A and B are shown apart, each in its own frame.
Chain A
Amino acid sequence: MTVAEQSAAVQPADVVTVTVDGIDVRVPKGTLVIRVAELMGIEIPRFCDHPLLDPVAACRMCLIEIEGNPKPQPACAITVTDGMVVRTQRTSEMADQAQEGVMEFLLLNHPLDCPICDKGGECPLQNQAMTAGRGTSRFEGHKRTFPKPINMSAQILLDRERCVSCARCTRFAEQIAGDPMLELLERGAEQQVGIGPDAPFDSYFSGNTIQICPVGALTSSLYRFRARPFDLVSTPTTCEHCASGCSLRTDVRRGVVNRRLAWDDPEVNEEWNCDKGRFAFQYLDRGRVETPLVRESGGLRVASWPEALDIAARGLAEARGRTAVLTGGRLTREDAYAYSKFARVTLGTDDIDFRTRVSSDEEARFLASQVAGMPMGPTYADLDRAPVVLLVGLEPEDESPIIFLRLRRAARKNSVPVVVMSPVRTRGTDKMRARWLPCRPGDEASGLAGLSQADPGLVAQLSTPGAVILVGERLAGVPGALSAAAALSASTGARLGWVPRRAGERGALDVGALAGLLPGGRPVDNPQARAEVAAAWRIPADAMPSAPGRSSAQVIDEVLSDVGRAARDEPRVYDALVISGLDVADDPRADDLRRALEGVPFLVSFATHHSEVTEQADVVFPVAVVSEKAGSFTDWEGRTKPFSAAVRGAQTITDARALAMLADVMDAPIGSGDVGSLRAEMDALGRWNGPRPSAPDDRPAASTEGTALATWRLLLDRGRLQEDEPHLAATARPVEAVMSESTATALGVAGRSTVMLASDRGSVELPLRIDDVADGTVWAPLYSEGCDLQALGLRHGSAVSVTGGAA
Chain B
Amino acid sequence: MALDEGVRVQMAAIVERYPRSRSAVMPLLHLAQSAEGELTDEAMRIIADALDLTTAEVAAVATFYTMYKRRPVGKHLIGVCTNTLCGLLGGDAVYDALSDRLGVGHDETTADGMFTLERIECQAACTHAPVMTVDWEFMDCQTPTSALDVVERLARGETVVSTRGPEIRDFEATEHTLAFPDDGLANQGGEADAIMLAGLRVAHELGMSAPPVPGQEP
Contacts and interface: CB of A to CB of B under 8 A. Distances in A.
On whether A and B touch (CB less than 8 Å), the answer reads: yes
A181 B64 contact: no
A195 B60 CA distance: 8
Given A196-B48, A196-B54, A184 B41 contact: no
Contact of B60 (A179, A184, A198, A201): A184
B57 A186 contact: no
Nearest to B60: A183
Given A180-B53, A197-B59, A198-B55, 15 more contacts: A180-B56, A180-B57, A181-B54, A181-B56, A182-B56, A185-B59, A187-B64, A187-B65, A194-B59, A195-B56, A195-B59, A196-B54, A196-B55, A196-B57, A201-B56
A196 B63 contact: no
Interface in A444-492: none
Interface residues of A, number: 16
A227 interface: no
Interface string B39-78: 0010011001000011111111001110000000000000
Contacts of A184: 60
A493 to B, nearest CB: 37
Given A180-B54, A186-B64, A187-B64, A198 B41 contact: yes
Given A186-B63, A186-B64, A187-B64, A194 B41 contact: no
Contacts of B41: 197-198
B29 to A, nearest CB: 14
A40 interface: no
Contacts of A186: 63-64
Contact of A199 (B55, B63, B65): B55
Contacts of B54: 179-181, 183, 196, 199
Contacts of B57: 180, 183, 196
B interface, by DSSP: helix, strand, loop or mixed? helix
Contacts of B59: 183, 185, 194-197
Interface in A164-209: 179-187, 194-199, 201
B55 A197 contact: yes
Interface of A: 179-187, 194-199, 201
Contacts of B64: 185-187
A182 B57 CA distance: 8
Interface string B9-43: 00000000000000000000000000000000100
Nearest to B45: A197
Contacts of A194: 56, 59
A236 B64 CA distance: 42
B60 A185 contact: yes
A179 B48 CA distance: 14
Contacts of B63: 185-187
A596 B44 CA distance: 55
Contacts of A179: 54
Best-surrounded residue of A179, A183, A195 (most CB of chain B within 10 A): A183
Interchain residue pairs A-B with the least CB separation, the first 8: A196-B55, A197-B41, A183-B60, A196-B56, A183-B56, A199-B55, A185-B63, A196-B59
Best-surrounded residue of B48, B55, B56 (most CB of chain A within 10 A): B56
A26 to B, nearest CB: 42
B146 to A, nearest CB: 33
Contacts of A199: 54-56
B148 to A, nearest CB: 32
Contacts, number: 48
Contacts of A180: 53-54, 56-57
A69 B45 CA distance: 47
Interface in B150-171: none
A201 B55 CA distance: 11
Nearest to A186: B63
5 contacts: A185-B59, A187-B63, A196-B54, A197-B41, A198-B55
Nearest to B44: A197
A182 B53 CA distance: 12
Nearest to B58: A196
Contacts of A181: 54, 56
Best-surrounded residue of A180, A186, A187, A199 (most CB of chain B within 10 A): A199
A56 to B, nearest CB: 15
Nearest to A192: B63
Contacts of B44: 196-197
B71 to A, nearest CB: 14
Contacts of B58: 196
A183 B44 CA distance: 14
A201 B54 CA distance: 10
A194 B62 CA distance: 13
A185 B59 CA distance: 7
Contacts of B45: 196-197
A184 B56 CA distance: 9
Contacts of A195: 55-56, 59
A172 to B, nearest CB: 14
B51 to A, nearest CB: 12
A197 to B, nearest CB: 4
Contacts of B48: 196
Nearest to A201: B56
Contacts of A197: 41, 44-45, 55, 59
Interface in B62-113: 63-65
A194 B54 CA distance: 12
Nearest to B40: A197
A196 B45 CA distance: 9
A196 B41 CA distance: 8
A34 to B, nearest CB: 27
A512 B205 CA distance: 103
A156 to B, nearest CB: 13
B185 to A, nearest CB: 31
A131 B90 CA distance: 50
Nearest to B59: A196
Contacts of A196: 44-45, 48, 54-59
B201 to A, nearest CB: 41
Nearest to A430: B52
B39 to A, nearest CB: 10
A187 B63 CA distance: 7
B122 to A, nearest CB: 16
A195 B58 CA distance: 10
Best-surrounded residue of A186, A194, A197, A198 (most CB of chain B within 10 A): A197
A199 B58 CA distance: 12
A180 B58 CA distance: 10
A199 B65 CA distance: 21
A180 B44 CA distance: 15
A195 B45 CA distance: 12
A180 B59 CA distance: 11
A1 B31 CA distance: 48
Nearest to A173: B56
A173 to B, nearest CB: 9
A82 B53 CA distance: 42
A199 B54 CA distance: 8
Nearest to A195: B56
A183 B64 CA distance: 11
A185 B62 CA distance: 8
A196 B55 CA distance: 5
Contacts of A187: 63-65
Nearest to B66: A187
A429 to B, nearest CB: 14
Interface string B123-136: 00000000000000
A183 B65 CA distance: 15
Nearest to A179: B54
Nearest to A187: B64
A184 B44 CA distance: 16
A13 to B, nearest CB: 38
Contacts of A185: 59-60, 63-64
